[in-house]
């Protein structure tokens, strides 16, 4: 039985991953903003076979509240073997371009809150010299594009932070996993009408996350083909890239 903390636990991908962990008999502590949704997820996980499932609410941008909720999770679980950070919003690029306040809010949610949580969790795991930190970043962070560069910049910050943290944690035996999904059909992307062959379902992405955690991977693109798509995008020469509508 593993002791698993999930932050952003009511997101579609996180819920799907939690269901996999529950069927394995793991113990879970879920953190999200919506208390009613959390209660429903906890009840479902207990039915599915979780050793235990508990929860707490948190606004991730309330940085002063991070330590207390992590301490509660650690106390209730009896330690944390795996922490999966899965919260985020899909930024409205046009609004971010027009409002500094909106842009800052989106960066707080999608980048700074994650970095703050990672700092607190990493110090705990480093002291114990064990554990896994798994964080959902995005392929959007691999190269800035006009359609979503605020969201992409936030995810780039997360991915870069995780790269340095992974190197730091290696000597302590702590695994740090960067998860880079492509297009995923979730409530967060419901407003996007045209979903084609590149879109994946949350269950498929969640299965890939669990497998990557099990194998102590460093970086995983989900589905796998996004590694090669982003390799091409990263290597488009800048003069040509500026003429593209991506």
pLDDT attached to residue 65:
98
**Would 72 be classed as within a structural domain?**
yes
Instruction: Give the mean model confidence (pLDDT) for residues 183-197.
Output: 78
pTM above 0.75, yes or no: yes
When divided into structural domains, the chain yields a total of 1
Q: Determine the structural domain holding residue 132 and report its residue range.
A: 3-241
**Would 98 be classed as within a structural domain?**
yes
Instruction: Give the mean model confidence (pLDDT) for residues 157-181.
Output: 98
Instruction: Give the mean model confidence (pLDDT) for residues 87-100.
Output: 96
Q: Calculate the average pLDDT of the chain.
A: 96
Task: Please report, for the domain that includes residue 197, its CATH number.
Answer: 3.40.50.720
**Would 246 be classed as within a structural domain?**
no
Q: Are strands 52-57 and 219-222 parallel, antiparallel or unpaired?
A: unpaired
Per-residue pLDDT at 85 exceeds 90: yes
Sheet containing strand 82-85, edge to edge, reads 52-57, 27-32, 3-7, 82-85, 132-136, 175-181, 219-222
pLDDT attached to residue 193:
63
**Would 82 be classed as within a structural domain?**
yes
Instruction: Give the mean model confidence (pLDDT) for residues 195-200.
Output: 83
């Amino acid at each position: 039985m593993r002791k698993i903390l999930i932050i952003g636990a009511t997101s579609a991908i996180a819920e799907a991953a939690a269901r996999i962990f529950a069927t394995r008999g793991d113990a879970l502590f879920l953190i999200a903003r919506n208390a009613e949704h959390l209660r429903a997820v906890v009840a479902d996980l207990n039915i599915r076979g979780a050793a235990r499932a508990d929860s707490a609410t948190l606004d991730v941008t309330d940085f002063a509240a991070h330590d207390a909720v992590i301490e509660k999770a650690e106390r209730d679980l009896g330690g944390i073997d795996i922490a999966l950070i899965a919260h985020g919003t899909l930024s409205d690029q046009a609004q971010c371009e027009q409002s500094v306040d909106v842009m800052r809010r989106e960066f707080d949610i999608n980048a700074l809150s994650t970095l703050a949580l990672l700092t607190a969790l990493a110090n705990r795991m480093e002291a114990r010299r064990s554990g896994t930190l798994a964080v959902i970043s995005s392929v959007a962070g691999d190269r800035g594009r006009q359609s979503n560069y605020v969201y992409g910049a936030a995810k780039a910050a997360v991915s870069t932070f995780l790269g340095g943290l992974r190197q730091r944690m290696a000597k302590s035996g702590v695994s740090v996993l960067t998860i880079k999904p492509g297009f995923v059909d979730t409530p967060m992307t419901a407003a996007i009408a045209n979903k084609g062959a590149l879109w994946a379902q949350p269950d498929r992405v969640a299965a890939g996350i669990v497998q990557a955690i099990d194998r102590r991977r460093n970086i995983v693109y989900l589905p796998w083909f996004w590694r090669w798509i982003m390799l091409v995008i990263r290597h488009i020469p800048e003069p040509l890239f500026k003429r593209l509508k991506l």
